């Protein structure tokens, strides 16, 4: 049997080359990625708690790993991921109330989410180093 002409003439679904990336679309994608990345960060946090519950040597080893340049970079990324995902969740909560759905407002909220997450991450790390007594 051959296919009918109605099935053959159907338009194809839009693909990524058709869409123009908007701030709202980018923040939606980043929100999903940060949600997945939080699983990895939670495993690191659980490892740290496990080390604290076992022995001083294991705890010192994990602290040494997290205190290295690479470890601090990973922890900085985890902090940003956590804050960015939280702000994205607040943005979605506001949308659930019916506010901020307009195109201009949602674009502005996407930029505020990005800028706010970077600023709050820096504030958390500067405050943490200030409490700790420096770098």
pLDDT digits (tens, 9 = 90+) for 50-77: 999 999 999 999 999 999 999 999 999 9
- Distance (Å, whole) CA 11 – CA 48: 53
Geometric angle at alpha carbon 31, from 126 and 68, rounded to 5°:
40
Q: For 63-118, what is each residue's pLDDT tens digit?
A: 999 999 999 999 999 999 999 999 999 999 999 999 999 999 999 999 999 999 99
Backbone angles phi, psi at 70, to 5 degrees: -65, -40
- Give the annotated binding-site residues for heme: 85
Q: CB count, 10 Å around CB of 5?
A: 7
| Sequence-ordered list of residues with C-beta below 8 angstroms from that of 101, at least 6 positions apart, any chain | 95
Annotated binding site: 85
Task: Map out the domains of the chain with their CATH numbers.
Answer: 21-132 (1.20.1300.10)
Is 4 a residue whose pLDDT tops 80? no
């Amino acid at each position: 049997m051959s296919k009918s002409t109605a099935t053959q003439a159907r338009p194809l679904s839009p693909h990524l080359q058709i869409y123009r990336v908007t701030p709202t679309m980018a923040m939606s994608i980043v929100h999903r990625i940060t949600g997945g990345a939080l699983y990895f960060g939670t495993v690191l946090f659980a490892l740290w708690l496990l080390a604290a519950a076992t022995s001083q040597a294991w705890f010192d080893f994990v602290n040494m790993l997290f205190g290295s340049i690479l470890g601090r970079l990973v922890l900085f990324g985890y902090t940003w991921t956590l804050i960015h995902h939280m702000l994205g969740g607040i943005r979605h909560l506001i949308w659930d109330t019916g506010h901020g759905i307009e195109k201009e407002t949602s674009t502005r909220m996407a930029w505020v989410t990005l800028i706010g997450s970077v600023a709050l991450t820096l504030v958390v790390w500067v405050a943490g180093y200030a409490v700790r007594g420096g770098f």
